[in-house]
Chains A and B, each alone.
Chain A
Amino acid sequence: MSHDVHTPVPAEEPIDNPGLPAHLPRPTDVDPAQAKRAERQVSTLFILAILLSLGFCVAYFAVDIDATFLGWSALNFALGTTVGLSLLFIGVGAVQWAKKLMDDHEAVEMRHPVASSTEDRAAFMESINAANRESGFGRRPLIRRSMLGAMAALGLPAIVVLRDLGPLPHSQWKTVWKKGMRVVNDVSGMPIKPSDIEVGQLINAEPAIFYEVDEEGERVVEGTELLQAKSKAAVIVVRMRPEDISPAKGKENWGVDGILCYSKICTHVGCPISLWEQQTHHLLCPCHQSTFDLADNGKVIFGPAHRPLPQLPLAVDEEGYLIATSDFPDIVAPSYPELHRDQKKLDKGDQA
């Protein structure tokens, strides 16, 4: 049904504005009985709202905070439904009133151009010009520039005063692990013997210092310091069949009979990872699905993490418990701008 238009296209509108359609009355406008009914509807809604508000107060005092209803908190349900429905009824009543009973002749208002009239704009320009002339703002560049400079300089105190928000970045490459520190089970703090661990076992572990107490029985590390230390030092200990493991050069002695210890903190953005699949030896981060192969030196095999999971070298102390032989040789936790530099320092320290 296409039309081949050979004549030039006329620019005017194809259909003329028919104007606002004639107003048609509503049933409530013409039938007093209907209007009466609408009036009763609206007032009933408002009265129900009053009753529900009262119901709220009754429920507040009458319903026990421990009581349940449908397996939910009865108090939450009672308070929420009463006040919720009360509010809803007020709203529905008001809208119903507007729709059914308030005058509904459509009103027409003309728009005015958003911009001011040319005279107003000229007068405004005249005003600021006068202000400029009288102040000499444009004429006296020395004052103008020095004043703007003075104001801009106030930005410096505003920034400098924030300096004490925090210390300068430091010691991100260090954790609390050090040579000889026992690897203990998280929560219980029990030291671990290699014989306690079966092939396919996973232990969520921490450095023993988190469970040490001083002479007064106070924990050595606690509060914020503990959380900060934990967010870098948490580890997992896993045991695989030694023949399944392919340690990188120099890491051959980092395990004890197939028992390896890795940082629990993802090198991506720092979620603690312990989704270890004992048959594939893969470790999955539940936050962004970075996957590491613990049989292959914590290599990244999927996902957004870049650095392999740092490994903690293990040994056994004279009582037969698992210990670390040093701090992490690789930096744990998410990358930060100075990581490359810090890692180089760490590598040098290792050789020394």
Chain B
Amino acid sequence: MSAEDTPRVEDTGFAKKAAGPVKWIDERVGGASLSKGLIRKVFPDHWSFLLGEIALYSFIVLLLSGTFLTLWFQPSMAEMHYHGSYAPLQGVEMSQAYASTLDISFDIRGGLLVRQIHHWAAALFIAAMMAHMLRVFFTGAYRKPREVNWLIGVGLLGLGLVEGFAGYSLPDDLLSGTGLRFVDGLIRSIPIVGSYIEFFLFGGEFPGNEIIPRLYMAHILLIPALILGLIAAHMLLLVYHKHTQWPGAGRTNENVVGYPVLPVYAAKAGGFFFIVFGFTAFMSAIIQINPIWVYGPYNPSEVTAGSQPDWYMGFAEGAVRIMPNWEWSFLNYTWSWNVFIPAVGGLTSLFVILAAWPFVERWITGDDREHHLLVRPRNAPTRTALGAAGVTAYGVLWAAGGNDIIATQFHLDIFAITWVFRIGFFVFPVLAYIITKRICIGLQRADAERVLHGYETGVLERTPDGSYSERHAPLDVNRQYALTNHARLPELTETPLVDENGVELTGKARRKAKRRDKVRRWYYAGAHDKPTTHDVDHALEHFAGHEGHPVELGQEFAGVSETGVPKQH
């Protein structure tokens, strides 16, 4: 589409056909002036930017498949006798919810497929949200001006968990009923008001006959509507902020380099929707999920070994499993810390920490600039290390949620495993923090080395006096720029303990300033700064002057490239 040989738009065949409809619509709803920019809006290209799209598309798949399921599902806890096609449950007493789920699975053609698509898409939806969130965290994409969008994302994740749990409970099979029983115990553990919430939510004593219709309403109306609204806000802000991009040649904090929405991005993103949908459908064709028929109907005096929630609630389950059995009788009340702290406290603290982090970091760094260039995880060692510690703590809880499966599959002692997780919850994140920070700093040093001294060619040379050295070749300038295009470490001089008017701080304000100074030093401690212009000049001399380090290796050079791949043949 080079400019000189493109005909004027009015003369193209396309324009002749489209002009009429465009005019008709624009005269009624307007929008051409707004849309002209939007449809050529530039989006950068990188696989990690598609993680959020997986979540978005899974949600659309959930809306489509969920709508299909509502055509047959009966959200009723009324008891009946089953007389459908699944023989081993003939005549068994069960709720209408469970019976209708069996009907969807065995008597409605395609029903089993759509049920499996719905369940896989739900598990995928939350996994993709988390993967997307980790990408945003580890690249610093949540920084100003995107803190609000981060908060919306945290809200979406929270709603996703509740939505997923509500859906998991609806079929009223033995597994989902056991999950509800757990939630009932969790609600009862809420100090002072627990029984009231329990009786209002369940419409009386557990299980009652209200909880499934109520969860159904939340699952198909209330929560999806909230999620949809938040997704809309998330996307609007994304469009307004323009997408972040990785540093690289020609990419700055002031521009965005990529492809226009129409046609390339639309084809890729639209195509990706079909890929996500198709992939989920294909998974549902060959991998079974939640075979409710083998669990049987819910019965409060039955349970199955290996009762687990869906994966995204696994961390809360794990926290409950490894918690010591603390319970108080105090002020004439019972305080069930053994359930309340891990379940309610664990869920709440996860979301509080996630929501607070951008603001905490900003308080530490005092950074008020807008950031549109992503940071490679290694260039923010403390943030990356904290993230790794968080992921490790989450991982320990998650694994603890499956401690019985680990015990049976690997023939281990379940009590010993529980103890490993109890201690590991405190120890492993610290180890992860230390190790990750060291790795980041090591990688930072390696980057600086490569910028200054080039990459190793794999060509060994012997000098006349008999010593060996490996030839280094200078890095391509585009790579050099990409490796240095991030913020320099701030100078950590002692913060002057004065306010804006130059008056010496005293008392509380002084202590606060000192504390912040301390935290900031910790945050930047050990990080390796990128080379200075002085370093680069010095290194250039080094390259030019030293024997065995020629600047040019010539076209015939057959060493390795900077990625370690042989350059020729």
Contact = CB atoms under 8 A, between A and B. Distances in A.
Interface of A: 1, 3, 5, 7, 9-21, 60, 65-66, 72-73, 75-77, 79-81, 83-95, 97-99, 102-111, 113-115, 162, 165-172, 186, 204, 206, 222-224, 227-228, 230-231, 234, 264-265, 268-275, 286-291, 300, 302-307, 334-341
B270 to A, nearest CB: 6
Interface stretch (B157-165, B200-208, B517-525): B200-208
Contacts of A340: 329, 332-334
Given A1-B449, A80-B281, A341-B333, A110 B79 contact: no
B278 A18 contact: no
Contacts, number: 360
Contacts of A303: 321, 325, 418
Given A106-B258, A165-B201, 17 more contacts: A3-B452, A21-B249, A21-B478, A84-B282, A87-B277, A95-B272, A107-B257, A108-B255, A111-B256, A206-B301, A227-B299, A227-B300, A274-B303, A286-B306, A304-B320, A304-B325, A338-B195
Contacts of A286: 303-307, 404
Interface in B287-343: 288, 298-307, 317, 320-327, 329, 332-336, 338-339, 342
Interface stretch (B20-28, B126-134, B259-267, B498-506): B259-267
Contacts of A11: 488
Given A335-B188, A337-B193, A95 B327 contact: no
B285 A81 contact: yes
A92 to B, nearest CB: 7
A117 B276 CA distance: 41
Given A85-B278, A230-B300, A270-B181, A169 B339 contact: no
B281 A9 contact: no
A230 B79 CA distance: 15
Contacts of A84: 278-285
A72 B298 CA distance: 25
A186 to B, nearest CB: 6
Given A224-B77, A268-B339, A269-B184, A87 B301 contact: no
B285 A77 contact: yes
3 nearest A-B pairs in the assembled complex, by CB-CB distance = A80-B285, A269-B185, A20-B250
Contact of A93 (B185, B271, B305): B271
Contact of A166 (B145, B210, B403): B210
Contacts of B181: 231, 269-271
B264 A15 contact: no
B42 A172 contact: no
A283 B105 CA distance: 36
A270 B535 CA distance: 67
B112 interface: yes
Interface of B: 1, 40-42, 77-79, 85, 106-107, 109-110, 112-113, 116-117, 145, 178, 181-182, 184-186, 188-196, 198-210, 240-242, 249-260, 263-264, 267-268, 270-286, 288, 298-307, 317, 320-327, 329, 332-336, 338-339, 342, 370, 372, 403-404, 414-415, 418, 449, 451-453, 477-478, 480-481, 484-485, 488, 530-536, 538
A120 to B, nearest CB: 15
B109 A60 contact: yes
B321 A289 contact: yes
A346 B258 CA distance: 73
A14 B478 CA distance: 13
B204 A166 contact: yes
Contacts of A166: 199-204, 208, 210
Contact of B339 (A1, A73, A99, A334): A334
B208 A87 contact: no
A335 B327 contact: yes
A343 to B, nearest CB: 8
Given A9-B532, A109-B255, A83 B281 contact: yes
Contacts of A7: 534
A332 B113 CA distance: 42
26 contacts: A3-B535, A10-B533, A11-B488, A17-B481, A18-B477, A80-B113, A80-B282, A84-B280, A94-B274, A95-B272, A107-B40, A107-B260, A109-B41, A111-B253, A111-B256, A111-B372, A227-B299, A275-B305, A286-B304, A287-B307, A304-B323, A304-B324, A304-B325, A304-B342, A306-B336, A337-B195
A199 B271 CA distance: 66
B255 A110 contact: yes
A95 B271 contact: yes
B530 A14 contact: yes
A167 B202 CA distance: 10
B255 A111 contact: yes
